[in-house]
Amino acid sequence: MQLKPLDRPDLIEQAATWLTQKDNGQWLDFGEGDSVITASWLKIMSKRRTHVIRLFTDDAASRPIGIVALDHVNPHFRSATVWAVLGDKAFARQGYTTRAVSGILTFGFQQVGLHSVNTWVVAHNVSASIPPRLHFREVGRLRECHRIDGRYYDRILFDLLASEHRLLNDV
């Protein structure tokens, strides 16, 4: 698996398509209640210093299968928020998303100089098992703040310090 920059229009379009699919977008929040990102907005995000966005590939590195990002990168506080989406569900439950998050964390801590990274996961989402596997600590819960199909769910909050991070596999 490799992490690749979001640097071509076709890759940006593919990633935006994944993010707009209901089974992906319902778990996300890009501000003001938005859970949908357009290709144009994703292109803008990929150019900003406050975002580090990468596509991750299958093990043959032949095709992108998901997107992973550091958002709200703050060089003063040396902090960021991480999120990921597995776009190609044929690769579900094979550890790709976990490895991609591990890889972007390594990049963030070693290359960007981050000290702390946080994330949140909607309760009952299968991806809630990823942060603990990567040594994130659960630090709280926002109760019933995430709405999907008219139902409210909690968000589980996690954080990780650079000193606690261990790369799972080479990416």
CATH number for the domain harbouring residue 148: 3.40.630.30
pLDDT of residue 44: 86
Query: What is the tally of structural domains in the chain?
Result: 1
pTM over 0.95: no
Angle between the N-to-C axes of helices 39-47 and 9-20, in degrees from 0 to 180, rounded to the nearest 10: 120
Q: Is residue 169 part of a domain?
A: no
Q: 73: domain range? A: 3-164
What was the pLDDT predicted at 170? 44
pLDDT 10s digits, 30-62: 766 555 678 888 898 888 989 999 999 999 878
- Is there a domain that residue 171 lies in? no
pLDDT range class, residue 169, cuts 50, 70, 90: low
Could you tell me if residue 101 is inside a domain?
yes
Q: Answer yes or no: is 170 within a domain.
A: no
Q: Per-residue DSSP letters for 71-132?
A: EEEETTTTEEEEEEEE--GGGTTSSHHHHHHHHHHHHIIIII--SEEEEEEETT-GGGGHHH
